[in-house]
Structure 1
Amino acid sequence: MDSDLRPFKIPHSVLVVVHTAALDVLLIERADSPGFWQSVTGSKDHEDEALDETARREVREETGIGRDVGVLTDWHLENIYDIYPSYLHRYAPGVTRNREHVFGLCVPEGTAIVLSPREHIAYRWLPYREAADACFSPSNAEAILLLPQFRE
C-alpha cells in the first residue's frame, strides 16, 4: 500500500466521453495538474466491479451527474498505456501499464455539473473537435474524435 494506507489502484479503468446530442463534450480540469483537461476517468474500486458500474460511479463522483441521467454506451474500445511516472506510486509495485475501457454518455443539453473539488477545479463544454484539441491525453483526444460514429 502507499504511504497514506489507501489500497493500491487497480490498473483497469474507464474513460467516459460525456457529450450532448449536438456533439458538445464536457471537459474537466484536474486539480492536481491545472491546465490539464480531460474527460471523466477512473479506476475500478474492486476487481469484480462491472465496467459500466465504474463508468456511472466515476461520472457521479466527478461531475454530479446521476446514474439516471443520459444514455451510457459501451464503445467496445480499449486503450493500454504506460502509467505516467508521477502516478506510479498509486499502484502496486511493478505495475506500469493501465487498461482503459471507453464509454460515451449522452446527456441533455444544460445538464448541471457539480465538480468534486478534490479532483477537478473547472469544467467547460466544447464542440467535439475543440475538446479533442484541448485534451492533454492522446487516447482521450482520439476517443473524442470518434464521437460522431458512436453518438446515440
Structure 2
Amino acid sequence: MGDQARPFKIPESVLVVVHTPRREVLLIERADAPGFWQSVTGSKDHPDEPLALTAAREVWEETGIHCAEGTPLAQCLRPWGIVNEYDIYPRYLHRYAPGVLRNREHLFGLCVPEPVTPVLSPREHTAWRWLPWREAADACYSPSNAEAILLLPQFMG
C-alpha cells in the first residue's frame, strides 16, 4: 500500500498556474523538498472526479483560494487543453500502485484579480511568493511546470 495504508495515488493530475492579469505567478515551496518551487498540483481523488473539480479542490487545499463552481472565481479557472505525460520522480513512486511509472498532468490557469496571501497547508508547503511569469518559470524545479508558465501569455486572450 501507499503511505500509512493510504490508497495509491491516481496517476492523473492537474497543474494550475495561479496568476494575475499582470502575469504575476504564485509559486509554493514543497515541505518535503526545500527549494522545490511549483504551481498548484495534485492528483484526482477518485478515477471519476472531473478534472475541473480536481483543479478547484487542489487550489483550495494548497492555497485557500476558492474557485469551485458557485464561487466568484469559478469562471476564472480555465482548462488549457494541454496534457503532459512524464515519468514520476523516483522518490514519489511508492505513492503509486506497483508498476505505475508515468503520470498524466492536465494544465489549468486561474486568474485572480491581484496577488493574494495564500493559506498554505504546512504539511504540504512551507513558503509562497508571487513572481513575474518569466522569473516564476525560471524558479520552478519541474520542467513541465516551467513550460506551463511560459505558455501563460497565449492563454490570457
Shorter-chain TM-score range:
over 0.9
Q: How many Å apart are 1:108 and its aligned residue?
A: 1.5
The gaps in structure 1 that reach 5 residues or longer are none
The gaps in structure 2 that reach 5 residues or longer are none
CA distance in 1, matches of 2:58, 2:132: 22
Where 1:4 maps in the other structure, the secondary structure is: helix
The answer to whether residue 38 in structure 2 is matched with residue 38 in structure 1 is: yes
Percent of residue pairs bearing the same amino acid type: 73
Q: Which residue of 1 aligns with 2:53?
A: 53
Could you list the structure 1 runs, at least 4 aligned residues long, displaced by more than 4 angstroms after superposition: none
- 1:10–1:115 Cα change, 3 Å: same
Counterpart amino acid of 1:116? S
CA distance in 2, matches of 1:35, 1:11: 24
CA distance in 1, matches of 2:59, 2:18: 8
Q: How many Å apart are 1:69 and its aligned residue?
A: 4.8
Question: What TM-score do the two structures reach when normalised by structure 1?
Answer: 0.97
Q: How many Å apart are 1:151 and its aligned residue?
A: 1.5
Q: Is the 8 A contact 1:79 1:139 kept in 2?
A: yes
- Measured against aligned partners, the alpha-carbon deviations of 1:109-151 in whole angstroms (never above 9, x if no partner) come to 1423100101000000000000000000000000000000102
Q: Is the 8 A contact 2:24 2:115 kept in 1?
A: no
Where 2:10 maps in the other structure, the secondary structure is: coil
CA distance in 2, matches of 1:100, 1:124: 23
CA distance in 1, matches of 2:143, 2:115: 27
Measured on the aligned residues, the alpha-carbon RMSD in Å equals: 1.0
